[in-house]
Structure 1
């Protein structure tokens, strides 16, 4: 059956719309019905996947809110504490923010399913890890002071991806594998790569609290009033190169001339931080016991649309970002942290598409050509 095919596939590769605070809720509710009404062997498999789903979301929870790159996301990405899956997190830890989440949690009220042990503690642990889901490689660094998380673009072991069989004929058309492949071709990819056209995938986050978050994206429209997908704050018209190492994440965007949107922008709600300083091309931020520094190779220009004091635009077609995190445990003041990040001396070479720092961080943009990402 299709259910068994889906179970086989998800057990092997993980969830395609990984960590989505919208669609993981739908999957959670559907799995509850399988757990409660399927025969025991299938029910047990569904229960194990449900435990895995919950563990993934709790692993990515920082100070009570899910901070994660995602396989599919909407505008709530700018307000992590308001995302639908927060109702699940709040059920595990009542001190965490709650959100309605379209009522899917009602399935849990009459279910035999119980959350795995240790999830509340999992949310509060320091974690540094790399895992895969679908074709995505997810990197997380979570401490008591900050959270930095991203997807690799391209994935370091890109050859390990599952095979897209969209071009296949005959009986393959009636399989889960074909449906999954067709979905990837028009909006569902988790095979991230520089230069691939995106949909609603979220690439990276830096956070000092659930409100004090930053990220960059290449929007699909010039205004929040648009209903385009990718949207103004969610998804990317063209995917960047992304690389994360301890304490740092870098991103390089190169927008083709044929694309109608010729800027990228940063979501940075400046009023949600305790302090904000500007030092050259660096934006320095403090919240509670955490620091963040954001560098851009292009001058950042404040812009107000539907929300105010939250947007910084980088106009042009070729730019690099570097986000660096730290703690008051190491630097007493924001100025001290600022002196350190400036000593990194990041540079971006447009001729080669290479972002470098003095301490050895390097990210090179190499456009990926992948015909499985389009309906041909």
Structure 2
């Protein structure tokens, strides 16, 4: 049963050694991964540190764990060739938390990878964490609303809050945990976190109950699940100090109907200016830019390539297996490097996580979420552009299947069949109506596999209570929630979960509704028949007796002739109105209010 205050929730403590699965085999497995520096070894380092600080390990096992922690590589600035990607936004914080706590634990010991003392590691990590936390509060998360990476961020910050000695750092980390949970509260549906996302994985968007964020959402806003000591997210489940503000709990559990507009992150092009005028941490050095750009995975864009190549040379990253595609280009002169990049047109430019303007509309019977006008015609990667959810675990979304010639040793290459888009569509949403236009004529890129001339939609027919499929439309009902999709081209039924629309230039419209608005599914279908969708040139037009929607590729989005502004503030939602790049926020629930003031470090929760 949902609760409205974190004080009412009982959390399970982190287990002692010898209880449950926390045995010698488990701890040694953590040690082995940390020593091998495998992908996500920073997550294993967090779990190992938690065991060392809270599980009363036997002396011989503790010593082995300590040696692994003292020999770990915590930053891309340290030497070493391995499979870790310590520069992405989420890995920056997980690695920095591990480094801070390791340094705090062993201030006088020498860390063998770089010869620095624990105290120096702690100071370096604290400096990086201070900036990372400030940037998240001010700009939001580049990996917007990710059901994977928000979970890792929250787990790392929960561990920091529990064990860091610096109370000022703890307070800042607590405030960033608040805004991450606020994002989840505003963009979730029936406990499922499946809005538009900056980084998404197939299994988790088709089956959100398997996502890393699922137990964290349950722990924060519902019934705390059992702790699995092999999952880094359990660090949040076993938190000792952090309490979810009542106002955020109320938004998550007591507000079935809402429309949310929110802005997340920065465009690659605006990073330099925004960091220069940052009110708390102004900066303009190349390393500072690289940390932010690489945090948003903007390694190979025209704006970043010169600094990226310099960073690879200075920090000896030429042998990084993850950055291998760049190796042959980093020694080119700067002007040649930029022109070569433009000629190559690599699909890796699509990894860059630019600013996301996300709209989510939710009732008790449906949710529709999308990122507005996100780099149409550009390459995609893991960005999840739009998603619709109905009761009963119905998940509907569409992509242009991508194909990459790059081989990654830690996970399948992206974009892929359902992850991300080969070519990004132009998408705009107005309340419960979404238009999507795909233009696959764009120039091919380096490392791109065969380009499919089709788009497809995940539409799980067998899970609906009722479905209908016509030549150019599909519709379904689950419970009291309805969804209809109209296409400019014929829909082909490929399987019981997939429909396809073929062509290089296509479009479709998505409409969601429910019984409260339409009385019945039959009435919804009758209204759907009154809509007409046309694609003429670069304009996708949806008309009906109820209104007209026009989406012109890369230009205006109009509703009934009025241009719709798709440039959103940080938050515009019931209970939360915050401008972009804020220094303070106020969150108002049904019975409580939360005030966050970054400048003064004030976090204040009060009853209304």
TM norm. shorter chain > 0.5: yes
Give the SS at the match of 1:216: strand
Q: Which residue of structure 2 aligns with residue 173 of structure 1?
A: 286
Q: How many Å separate the matches in 1 of 2:525 and 2:469? A: 9
Q: Which residue of structure 1 aligns with residue 379 of structure 2?
A: 197
How far is 1:120 from its partner?
A: 4.5
Contact 2:161 2:173 in 1 (8 A): yes
Q: Which residue of structure 2 aligns with residue 216 of structure 1?
A: 398
Q: Which residue of structure 2 aligns with residue 144 of structure 1?
A: none
494, 503, 508: which is aligned to 1:303?
494
Q: Which residue of structure 2 aligns with residue 134 of structure 1?
A: 265
Larger RCO, structure (CA 8 Å, separation 6 or more): 1
Distance 1:20 1:328, change over 3 A: same
- Alignment pair present for 1:241 and 2:433: no
- Alignment pair present for 1:184 and 2:371: no
Contact 2:187 2:195 in 1 (8 A): yes
- Alignment pair present for 1:74 and 2:201: yes
Q: Which residue of structure 2 aligns with residue 347 of structure 1?
A: 534
- Alignment pair present for 1:332 and 2:502: no
How far is 1:190 from its partner?
A: 2.6
Contact 1:64 1:95 in 2 (8 A): no
How far is 1:353 from its partner?
A: 3.6
Q: Which residue of structure 1 aligns with residue 581 of structure 2?
A: none
Q: Which residue of structure 2 aligns with residue 107 of structure 1?
A: 235
- Equivalent pairs counted in the alignment come to 333
Bigger proportion of residues as helix: 2
Q: How many Å separate the matches in 2 of 1:80 and 1:184? A: 27
Q: How many Å separate the matches in 2 of 1:180 and 1:339? A: 50
Distance 1:135 1:293, change over 3 A: farther
Q: How many Å separate the matches in 2 of 1:256 and 1:97? A: 48
Q: Which residue of structure 2 aligns with residue 312 of structure 1?
A: 499
Q: How many Å separate the matches in 2 of 1:111 and 1:96? A: 13
- Alignment pair present for 1:360 and 2:548: yes
Q: How many Å separate the matches in 2 of 1:48 and 1:19? A: 17
Gaps of 5+ in 2: 1-126, 276-282, 300-348, 356-373, 405-410, 445-450, 556-608
Provide the aligned C-alpha RMSD in A. Answer: 2.9
Q: How many Å separate the matches in 2 of 1:267 and 1:232? A: 11
Contact 1:87 1:100 in 2 (8 A): no
Distance 1:98 1:231, change over 3 A: farther
Q: Which residue of structure 2 aligns with residue 272 of structure 1?
A: 463
Q: Which residue of structure 1 aligns with residue 416 of structure 2?
A: 231
How far is 1:113 from its partner?
A: 1.0
Q: Which residue of structure 2 aligns with residue 88 of structure 1?
A: 216
Q: How many Å separate the matches in 2 of 1:353 and 1:330? A: 29
- Alignment pair present for 1:117 and 2:267: no
Q: How many Å separate the matches in 2 of 1:220 and 1:330? A: 37
Q: Which residue of structure 2 aligns with residue 323 of structure 1?
A: 510
Distance 1:357 1:100, change over 3 A: farther
Q: Which residue of structure 1 aligns with residue 604 of structure 2?
A: none
